[in-house]
């Protein structure tokens, strides 16, 4: 009962009705329904709450899930919708270094004559020459292979 004392979950009747509606009607994501059930089970406004182990067993989740949902409820200031919804990313995803211009330069390099001493281009040889080019970011041989495959370019 540590998390119930530390971060008690007290729901209003309107919040309880909304959570019951989420768990019983409509089509929602399983994670959203699971978090709604956890909030309903941890609600102290309707009476005494069972222990974490009993709730976890009954709902089929871990004790850590109970703790995290209670923590998220406290962090959102008791906002039920923010607690059960998916958390938004803090940082945007890292942009890809491969742009259309980089693809075009790479394909042009792969279609050109291989350096002297080589019969054809290989992915590792392209990787070395891309690293030497100043206007193309360093790319791994697997990335180069994906780019060429996407554009149906074969190294012959």
Closest to 59 (Cα-Cα) out of 86, 33, 24: 33
Sign of the dihedral defined by the CA atoms of residues 138, 140, 145, 146, in that order: negative
CB proximity list for 58: less than 8 A, separation 6 or greater: 41, 50
Exposed / middle / buried, residue 129 (Cβ in 10 Å: 0-12, 13-18, 19+): middle
Which pTM value belongs to this model?
Answer: 0.58
DSSP state of 41: H
User: If you compute the radius of gyration of the chain from its CA atoms, what whole number of angstroms results?
Assistant: 27
- Token pair for 130: 């891309």
Confidence band (pLDDT; 50, 70, 90) for 4?
Answer: low
In whole angstroms, what is the distance from residue 130 CA to residue 105 CA?
Answer: 9
Q: What pairs with residue 9 in β-bridges?
A: 43
Whether the predicted pLDDT of 21 surpasses 90:
yes
Share of the chain above pLDDT 90, in %: 63
pLDDT of residue 34: 94
Mean pLDDT of the chain: 89
**Torsion from C-alpha of 31, 37, 39, 43, nearest 10 degrees:** 180
pLDDT digits (tens, 9 = 90+) for 36-67: 999 999 998 888 888 889 999 999 999 999 99
């Amino acid at each position: 009962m540590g998390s119930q004392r530390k971060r008690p979950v007290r729901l209003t009747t309107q919040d309880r009705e909304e959570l019951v509606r989420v768990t019983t009607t409509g089509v929602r994501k399983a994670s959203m329904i699971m978090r709604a059930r956890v909030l309903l089970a941890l609600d102290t406004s309707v009476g005494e709450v069972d222990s974490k182990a009993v709730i976890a067993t009954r709902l089929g989740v871990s004790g850590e899930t109970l703790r995290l949902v209670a923590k998220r409820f406290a962090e959102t200031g008791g906002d039920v919708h923010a607690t059960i919804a998916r958390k938004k990313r803090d940082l945007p995803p890292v942009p890809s270094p491969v742009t259309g211009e980089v693809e075009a330069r790479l394909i042009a390099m792969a279609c050109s004559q291989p350096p002297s001493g080589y019969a054809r281009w290989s992915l590792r040889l392209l990787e070395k020459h891309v690293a030497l080019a100043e206007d193309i970011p360093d790319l791994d041989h697997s990335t180069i292979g994906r780019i060429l495959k996407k554009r149906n370019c074969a190294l012959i």
